[in-house]
Chains A and B, each alone.
Chain A
Amino acid sequence: MSLKTLPLLFINLGGEMVYILDQRLRAQSIPQEKARKVMHDIVGTMFNKRFMEELFKPQEMYSKKAMRTVFDRLAHASIMRLNAASMDKLYDLMTMAFKYQVSLCLRPSDVLLVTLNHVDAIKDFVSGSTKIILLIDHVYHLLHEHFASLSTGQFQLIRQALLSFFQDMHIRVSIFLKDKVQNSNGRFSLPVDSPIPYGTEMPGVIRFFASNEVVRTIEFKTNTKYRTVLKPGSFEKSGERITLLGTNMYNVDRNVETSSVSQSQSQDGASGNAPNPLAKEELNLLAHLVGKDEKKAKDVSAFRLNLFSTDKEEEIAAEKTIYRPDRVINIDASKKKASDELSRIMDDFTITSNNSATATEKGDDLLALMDSA
């Protein structure tokens, strides 16, 4: 129920993507020069000035599909190529990591601190480029301008909207399972012995008042060891964020696996294994708007990044994805003329398709902008 959620969702998912790509680029021993180009290209596209300004305008959240398409495009903004299985895995990791961070926020306003942790880390990745640093500084400015003075209630609406976006996603992530922060059913474990939010009070006291003065106090047992947080965390450009949520958890080199929980909890009509013709057209149109990939793919310096430990694993995962047509995007830049027709088809669908249609249309504009970057 907030129109301010989209930029936070995009920046945080983008931040997680950058963490994972950095880890994989190192694990696959991609030459430093190429790796740096990839990081700079992706971060530069992600924080393109016009794109960011468009993103920060009050608007409704994208559909899950539109969001995924934006990131498919972003991941291919450089000389790196990901096949469908690797892209799926990348997106699963990104979404589950940010879902974890939003779920475990102590206070709703911590979502802004999590975002700043991501931006701080991204800035370190591109420290060599003054041009990109300027873009990032602009993002700090936008975040401060739009979010720093929001009330707790407004942050709560944003957090609820983010939780709604991630609702029913229960992909298991090996790094979370190993650290015991996720259970085998895909749910996060919520420790009761945890810090209490800054500015609040430890449970266990009942105060009785008379004429606004405390006249008596009794205590009750909570059987829980609470800790207090001593600082609120800074919303400034460089400051102490206090929370570790949103920092890079891949710094230690380890492989990260994902697996979907077999029982399908998803209630979104379009997901699941049944092919969805509407979604496919929608994606083809978006992919068309994104265009220009083909040219880049022919670049001799292009390379393929694998999110799995071995190519064999990737092949196996790729076979599994074949049966999910709604996740496969055909990028065909040669048929530019067809765009009018596709737009018309898209218009036709707007009448019959579900509520995701409006969000997708807005997605188109932003994708086009991203392209012009």
Chain B
Amino acid sequence: MYKRQPSIPLKASCSALCNNLDVSDANSSQSGGSLTFAVVHKSVSHLINSSPGLPHIYRQVTCKESESSWCALESRKVLVIASLKGIQMFEPDGSIMLFWHALNRSDEKTAQFARGITSIKSDNLVCVGTSSGSILIFSVDDNGKVLNIQLKETLSGHDVPITDLISGESDTLASADELGNIAIWKTSDKSISKVTLIKGQNYPCSSIRLWDKYIIGGYGSGHIRIYEANTGNLEIEIAAHARWVNAIDVAFEANLLLSASEDTYVRVWSLGLVDNKLKVEMKFSESVTDVQLQGCKFTSPEGLTFALTGYDFSEIYLFSR
């Protein structure tokens, strides 16, 4: 189904962090084949632009052991970096820092960090998770003349560090934590409230995605679980990998789910509804020999190509149909 393509070389190796890969413009089909990838190497976020027929363009943004992700809002697009020190927002190419929010260093005994980045496009909100379990909501207003970014709200609903955040249609926000709990939030009339809490089974939920009315989680136990987001009912459980699932992703137009694990395997699953019942099937499975996979991303909603990163290796692996 998918075939391995020549890799994109990185200037530095990929760090061992869940979801350590983002692709700019992955959700729009108008990128013209030009893609920008973000991979974290220790305290540097590496941005790599790959366009057909052109040499790769590299840029580095210094952070501190972190996660970086692009947020496309109605008003503008920003590159968000969540790290040990706090939250930074940059121009999408990483050239200029637009905003900086330091984390509250109240406790010297545990490491403070920000992890999990998503955005609510229509409301121009950037959401970032923290090690205290709270979720910071920033409003990004840009009328073309004045850019105004500020902390709008702090959501509390988790007692342990946030692992990942994702937003979906109909103003849904989902958050996952280190004990495997998943919370579903709804935004309405300028307020965000928790509607569902799905109890975890102690293994962290490292990566979450929303698809249709479902929330999908990849877990440290190697499982993938799919819940109905409104009721929190478990619909499907997949014993998917032999080690930690470090990242999952969804290609919305192709209805495909991607999962990458420390067990070196990448797997592609088809998602479908038959008589209003959810169906899942494994479509593709391949081991990237001796590579503990850390990040995975489809590069477009059609799911024709996906990209992978692995700990200690300086390349982005590509697979295409």
Q: Which residues of A contact B (CB under 8 A)?
A: 1-3, 58, 103, 106, 108, 151-154, 156-157, 159-160, 163-164, 167-168, 170, 183, 187-190, 192, 194, 196-197, 199-209, 211-212, 218, 220, 222-224, 226, 265, 267, 355
CB of A58, distance to nearest CB on chain B (Å) = 5
Chain B residue numbers with a CB within 8 Å of A203 are 222, 239-242, 263
Question: Considering the complex of A and B, which 9 residue pairs feature the smallest CB-CB distances, nearest first?
Answer: A153-B178, A163-B16, A220-B282, A201-B239, A153-B204, A205-B239, A267-B12, A200-B221, A207-B237
Least distance between A109 CB and chain B CB atoms (Å):
11
Q: Kindly provide the distance from the CB of A77 to the nearest chain B CB, expressed in whole angstroms.
A: 30
B203:A222 contact, CB within 8 angstroms = no
B109 within 8 A of A: yes
Taking A58-B108, A160-B17, A188-B290 as contacts, is the C-beta distance between A209 and B235 under 8 angstroms? yes
Contact status of A153 and B292, CB under 8 A, knowing A3-B110, A201-B239, A212-B234? no
Interface of A is mostly: loop
A289 to B292, CA, bound (A): 40
**In the complex, chain B residues 237-255 whose Cβ is within 8 Å of any chain A Cβ:** 237-244
User: B92-120 toward A: CB 8 Å interface, digit per residue (1/0)?
Assistant: 00000000000000001111010000000
A155 to chain B, nearest CB (A): 10
For the complex formed, measure the closest distance between the CB of B163 and the CB atoms of chain A, giving whole angstroms.
8
Question: Which of A163, A207, A211, A224 sits near B236, CB closer than 8 Å?
Answer: A207
Q: Nearest Cβ distance between residue B225 and chain A, in whole angstroms?
A: 10
A208 touches B235 (CB 8 A): yes
Instruction: State the B residues within 8 Å of A (CB).
Output: 11-13, 15-17, 41-43, 64-65, 84, 108-111, 113, 131, 160-161, 163, 177-179, 202-204, 220-223, 233-244, 263-265, 277-278, 280-282, 285, 287, 289-292, 311-312, 314
* Pairwise interchain contact B42-A167, C-beta atoms closer than 8 A: yes
Given the known interface contacts A58-B108, A152-B202, the answer about A190 and B290 at a Cβ–Cβ threshold of 8 Å is: yes
B113 — which chain A residues lie within 8 A by C-beta? 1
Q: Give chain B nearest CB distance to A105 CB in angstroms.
A: 10
Chain B positions within 8 Å of A202 at CB level = 239, 242
Contact for A196 among B161, B222, B238, B312, CB less than 8 A: B222
In the assembled complex, which residues on chain B have CB atoms less than 8 Å from the CB atom of A220? Answer: 281-282, 285
Chain B residues contacting A204 (CB-CB under 8 Å) are 239
Q: Is the pair A167, B312 in contact by a Cβ cutoff of 8 Å?
A: yes
Q: Answer whether A153 and B161 are a contact pair too, CB < 8 Å, given A194-B242, A203-B242, A207-B236.
A: yes
CB-based contact B237/A209 at 8 Å: yes
Residue of B nearest to A157 (CB): B111
Indicate whether A151 sits within 8 Å of B179 (C-beta atoms), given known contacts A167-B13, A167-B15, A220-B282.
yes
19 A-B pairs in the complex with CB atoms less than 8 angstroms apart: A58-B108, A58-B110, A108-B220, A151-B160, A153-B163, A153-B204, A163-B16, A168-B13, A183-B290, A192-B287, A196-B242, A197-B242, A201-B223, A203-B241, A218-B281, A265-B13, A265-B314, A267-B13, A355-B43
Q: What is the CA–CA distance of A58 and B111 in the complex, to the nearest angstrom? A: 9
A152 touches B203 (CB 8 A): yes
Complex CA gap A355/B43 in Å reads 10
Are A222 and B285 in contact, with the CB atoms below 8 A? yes
Complex CA gap A58/B238 in Å reads 38
Decide yes or no: A1 and B84 within 8 Å by CB, A164-B15, A196-B242, A205-B238 being known contacts.
Answer: yes
**A206 and B235 in contact, given A163-B16, A188-B290, A197-B243 (Cβ under 8 angstroms):** no
Known: A206-B236, A207-B236, A207-B237. A187 touches B243 (CB 8 A): no
Q: Give the complex CA separation of A258 and B43 in angstroms.
A: 29
Q: Are B221 and A199 touching (Cβ within 8 A)?
A: yes
Residues of B with C-beta under 8 A to A163: 15-16, 311-312
A192 with B263: in contact, given A1-B65, A1-B111, A265-B314 (CB under 8 Å)?
Answer: yes
A205 cross-chain contacts in B, Cβ below 8 A: 238-239
Closest A residue to B43 using CB positions: A355
Given known contacts A192-B264, A203-B242, A208-B236, A156 and B287 CB-to-CB distance under 8 angstroms: no
